[in-house]
Each structure stands twice: as C-alpha cells, then as structure tokens.
Structure 1
Amino acid sequence: MYFEWKDPFIRKIQPDEMWLYRNPRTESYVPLIALYPSMYGFAALVFVTYFFHTRDLTDFKCAWLGISLAGTLNGVITQSIKIAVGRPRPDFFWRCFPDGVMNEDMLCSGDHHSIMEGRKSFPSGHSSVAFASLGFISLYLFGKLNVFNERGRGQAWRLVVSVVPLLAATMVAISRTCDYHHHWQDVVVGSVIGLIEGYLCYRQYFPSLDSRYCYLAYASDAMYPNPSRKTTSKPEASGIEVNPENEMLVDTAEKDNKWT
C-alpha cells in the first residue's frame, strides 16, 4: 500500500519519442475490481473442491498460505519496480496533455494522480498478479492430478484441466496491451515475475511436480513416518517407502491420491 500511493521516478521524455505514448485512453478491459474476486474466487472453488473430496485440512491451509504469500510477494516486488523505473504508459500523452496540446517544456497540465499513474507502466501489475495467483492454481492442479509423474502421464484431460488457469492469466496479460495501459515489454516481464513468484511460493508448501508424492503438502502427516510405528527393519520391508526427492517416509497405506 505504501508503494501504491508513492510517486514514481520522473523519467525524462524526449519530444521525438512521444509517439510511443500517444495511444488513446480507454477503460481497462479487466479492471482490478473484477480481477481479484475472479482469481481468488476460482482459487476458493479449486481448494474447497479438493478439501471436500479428501477432507485434508492441512493441504487446504497450505494452499491458502501459498497463494496468499504469492500475492503479497508479488505486490511488494512489482510495485517497487514500478516506482523505481517510472516508465510512461502507452496513453501517457493524453494523461499529461488532456487538451491534446504539447508544450515545448513538456510540462503536464493534466490531473496529478492520473499523471503519476501514467508513469507506472513497467512491469504490468495485472500480468504479474494474474500469473502469480492463477499460475499457483495451475501448479496446484498439476500436483493434485499427477500430470508430470508416472501416475498421470498419458491422460491428456489432466493436462488440459490444469492449464486453464494459465490460459486465463495469459488473456488478462494480453488485455493490457489491447486497452493501451501497458507496452508489450511490460506485460512479458510482469508475466515472468508472476510465474517465478507463483512457483517459488508453491514449492514452499508442496513437493516437486515430478515427485510420486506431489499431491501431498510438506506439512501433511502422510509425508512422515508414523511415530507410533516401531520397526528395526528397512523401510521397504515394513510397508514404508522412501521419497527419493527429499528422503521423507511415506506410508503406503496413505499414499493413494483420493483426488484421482
């Protein structure tokens, strides 16, 4: 919130480059008032559906912790870069000179808040938050449906279902160039930032997608051996298998994914 209301760096604009910023002003095709409810409403649908199917409260908590961490981290990083860079938006000319008359000194005559917002083009906040949140949901679905391990390979419907959030994030990002609120470079960099943040936050709570146990949260009891079980034999002989990725022990009686 601090960076949201802070004025950005005032980058020098040369008169001969103003053509880059002379696109018409339009309303956002995907306003924030619609973007956030849609993203987190979809997240709630996915997380709640999985919870009612498995009754796994630990996984439910980890899912919300992960996506909220991704959103918070994205807000700090994206807004910090916006303030530091101060790149004008494609419609900056009309924000600066609403009457369409540009003076030689390049002194803006428009509304101060609109002008400052017009200097926060890089990177695209819509793109980064869409890929951070919807990308996290795709990763969550990849894991729950075992898309990238031996249990789910060869079943195309799992892949198709899991990439739907990524497609939605892509359309949000593209819309930012269609309404002239961002340059294509802003959208590309914002999308990459969001994807990285979504992946990092997902891996804080869930294993690698190619793991046999990718559908389990790290905090899940099923990721660890039963403390009451006493055995001196090897894990394989006692019905417990070793997770090759992180050497955790997984009880074979609990390892089946109820989602599939």
Structure 2
Amino acid sequence: MRRAARVGRWCGIIAFGLLAAPVRPCDAQTGSDTAVTVYGFLQAGDSGRWSLLLPQPVTAAGRRIGVLAAADAGARWQRMDGRFVEATGRVTLSSAVPGGAGIAIERLRELEPPGTRRTTVQLSSSQLAVVTLAAIPNRFAWRADDGQPTGVQPLLMYTVYNHGQTQLDFMLPTNDVVCVRVQREKDRGGGGDTGGWHTSLPASTGNRERIVIRLGGLFRRFIPIPPDAAPLAGRYVANVTLCGVADYQVETPFEVVTP
C-alpha cells in the first residue's frame, strides 16, 4: 500500500488548474486568436480578476496553456464562481493579458461533470444528504504522442448536499476530514480493497474534528490525483468518504490512456 504525503485543504480558491475538455477548434483559426469550447471551473481571484484554470491545457499557437484570464466574467457571470462550466469563446495570446493568455467568453453554462456518481444517505427521518464524486477529467493521458507530459492535473470533486430538515453535525475521530483511496479496477475484490493509493485532507477550522453542514448547505472538497496514484494505463476506481463516517462514501471510475 502506498500513502501520499498529506494534502492540504483546498479552500474556495482552487489551487491548481481545473478541467478543460479537449478543445474543439473552429474552421478558421489564427495563431493568437483561437475559437474554443472548454470545460472547467470559473474562479474569482484577487483584485477582481477572473480565470478559467485548466489542468488539461488548451493548445493555441503551439503553446499549452493552463490558465486563461477571463476579464469580464465577474460582471456577467458572478454566480458561476467555483462552478463547473462549459465556456465558448476566443483565446487570445498577448503579453498585456495576465498570464499571457485570455478568453473572451461568448457563452457560458453550468454543467455536471461527466461521469459524476452519487448516493443518497438517509440516517433518520430528518437527515437526508446527497453525496457525489466526480473525476475531472475522467479519461486522460499523462504523456502526449511525442512523449512529453500533457500537463494534465486531474482531480476528484467530493460533495455532500444537505437536503434534510436539520443540520448535519459530524464529530470525526481525528482532524482528517476526507479520506481517499484509488485502486486499479482489476485489483479490487478478493481482499484487495485495502490496497492502492491513499491520502487524506485535514481540517483547517478551529474545532478540527467537527463538521457542520447547515440546512440546504454544501460541503465540497477537491483532491488532486498525482501520477503515482494512477501510474499505468487502465481503469481505476476512486473511493472518497468523510473519515470515520462510512455511510458518506461514494465511488467513481476514471481511465488513464496511452497516446
């Protein structure tokens, strides 16, 4: 069994790039002005700057781009902050744009990540939660056709939605909040469920062992999938739960492919 170094808690700002699906170029393109449709998370940053953060980089004018500045997103789509979205627009490369690349968004809509799995947890007549898990992207390659790294930075998105009539109050056995396991699909079963790659996310609140999800509230955490979690081509299964609370576990598959 391999255990990753403990991963720090991801706060409202997602620390690294978020999914961009394969770019669909239009018929007419120029080197620095490329029409694309991408999938990822819109993120508000410092000084009113907005970005699309791309773990599977967009390629424009021969460059792999991991972050796209989205200057007008705050005024037009502020409610989309932190949401998984489909964005259509034009990518421009310019030294005048933060990070050297920006997108003028023409259309934007919220989507559920492809392959999202969910389970419903009802422990009493007043407690009802929907737990979801998505691998983003759920199919990817670590290396491109030329043998170079693709730059993909896949992640797991784990959520608990409180749909009950009372708040959910958890007292966890340690200050580890979310526990994660990734296994090759063919290694599961027959006692193999204890193997694979493991990690956990610690809490950062004052009362580190307690989680409270208010009525209608959402608990969400992002967990990066490093190469050593899924080093070989094939199908994998990720399992995520609140640590010590097995009722809130959920699984989702993903696949690592060769170029």
**TM-score, L = length of structure 2:** 0.26
Between Structure 1 and Structure 2, the one with more strand by share is 2
Considering only CA atoms, is the larger Rg found in Structure 1 or Structure 2? 1
